[in-house]
Structure 1
């Protein structure tokens, strides 16, 4: 099992001895000496669960679950990571199929629900390295097909409905704003899987739209309107996926940095944030115009977004390529 674990890792592995010190890609042989490593996110060979409960090494047995291949125990507080090895990895590259991915995600969620103390927010990227002497590792000679877990848990997906923030301007704005704020953190889970992200955004868009039936006198939006908004959000979010959507307007600078340097960096950061906000307004305006069947022109976007025409013109080439406005 150890050999298979090592083989499942890429040639360069992101690792760290403490998350306060940040993470770094290192060659596999060196990375395996670190306490925390990122297991392969493109070919998922393991289902990883984080148990934040003391004395949880045998919690799986108490709740009638199959034995994890690795139980990696923190000797200081006896919290654990459970790792179940799969016979066949689930592919999350561009060519990966969504159905196996959804099955994997359903099993992951069901295992988490079945274990008291399991962290539902844990995304399974960084794991306690079972080869590190920093931890105590319990091993079982066990590997599984995803179908095997159906003997132990209910893998039926539970659809968690998003609590919508309603926009006074109507359903289109409500869909757009709720979808984009959902997409910003979600895109970080998809790495190079563009097609998987597009599919997830569309699924979430139609889930939000389904709530309009009971929450709006006008009912749900047309299929084309929803799809147009999903396309706009997924396109914009994917192109900006390496940005930090959650910390706009926040800048952490060293206290001993000279004041003039702080002011200069602050001004640059403020301009960057302002520019990002303007682009979001423009993208929203284009999405709404396309959804309503209104011709998308520089003038119509300027009026809809309430942004000056010269600003629209500066961003027009980028917009035209993003939304295929030349077609």
Structure 2
């Protein structure tokens, strides 16, 4: 194996990776110096994804990517006995999965990952947490592409009609981060209005809701990632959503002029939405009329 590729792999390891020698015995965590001796190791950092890794469970997995017209992996780590392999693609710039990461580039990365998984015929049940350790002599290693990939470069070889929310696999890889963020965010926008809780109470509620969504994944995200997503949503909604800001939002988006336009647009398409404005606002009928009463809107 190229010393440059091996150094890149080792330099990008977490400071305290998960590792194991036997998958059936579970994972342990230790400093990099200890973990790097194991057969399997965590290869991406907790909130920065430097590698896209795919688990291909068929003979010849280390070489048949070329028959599928897939981009060349940075390196392949193959089981010498059965020919199954992990295919790793090194990214020039890490994908941020931390709370300060933006959802749009995360969704783009998830779309690239999903399309590449499909082209490779890789296992959809792969958790993406650990891979075969290229430092261990149990595996056969090959380096194919020495240059670091950008997402755009990978996308050039893929059909990114799958770069939309409906076709990104919600249970796979980065798709889990997108799915968990979207589901929890949409729940939070409504739930915070039920009593306007204090921050710590609200953070716990967001974490419990995100955890409930997470356990439904085939391969759930690590708890630290769930907490990171929860904190991001809890902090933003708690800062942006309160009784005053919500009343301001309602008054700005539901003036008589805007409601009139909405009513005109709905004509010919069934019952006008102006008759049920609380549906457009995502609030209950009772909340809508309490707001009207408070602001003296009696017409």
Instruction: Give the TM-score range, shorter chain.
Output: 0.5 to 0.7
Q: 2:183 aligns with which of 195, 201, 205?
A: 201
Structure 1 residue 155 displacement after superposition: 2.4
Q: Distance in 1 between matches of 2:129 and 2:90?
A: 15
Q: Distance in 1 between matches of 2:41 and 2:183?
A: 29
Match of 1:134 in 2: 138
Q: Is the 8 A contact 1:197 1:234 kept in 2?
A: no
Shift in CA distance, 161/236, structure 1 to aligned 2, threshold 3 Å: farther
Match of 2:125 in 1: 121
Shift in CA distance, 131/202, structure 1 to aligned 2, threshold 3 Å: same
Structure 1 residue 137 displacement after superposition: 0.9
Structure 1 residue 82 displacement after superposition: 0.4
RMSD: 3.7
The structure showing larger relative contact order (alpha-carbon pairs under 8 Å, at least 6 residues apart) is: 2
Number of positions where the alignment pairs a residue of Structure 1 with one of Structure 2 = 206
Match of 2:265 in 1: none
Structure 1 residue 150 displacement after superposition: 2.1
Match of 1:214 in 2: none
Gaps of 5+ in 1: 163-181, 191-195, 206-224, 247-289, 296-327
User: Normalization by structure 2: what TM-score?
Assistant: 0.59
Q: Distance in 2 between matches of 1:94 and 1:187?
A: 14
Q: Does 1:98 align with 2:90?
A: no
Q: Does 1:46 align with 2:51?
A: yes
Match of 2:30 in 1: 26
Shift in CA distance, 198/151, structure 1 to aligned 2, threshold 3 Å: closer
- Write out per-residue CA displacement over residues 54-83 of structure 1, whole angstroms, 9 at most, x where no aligned residue: 112111111122211110101121101100
User: Normalization by structure 1: what TM-score?
Assistant: 0.54
- Write out per-residue CA displacement over residues 202-226 of structure 1, whole angstroms, 9 at most, x where no aligned residue: 67x6xxxxxxxxxxxxxxxxxxx99
Q: 2:284 aligns with which of 289, 292, 302?
A: 292
Gaps of 5+ in 2: 195-201, 217-281, 288-299
Q: 1:61 aligns with which of 58, 66, 79?
A: 66
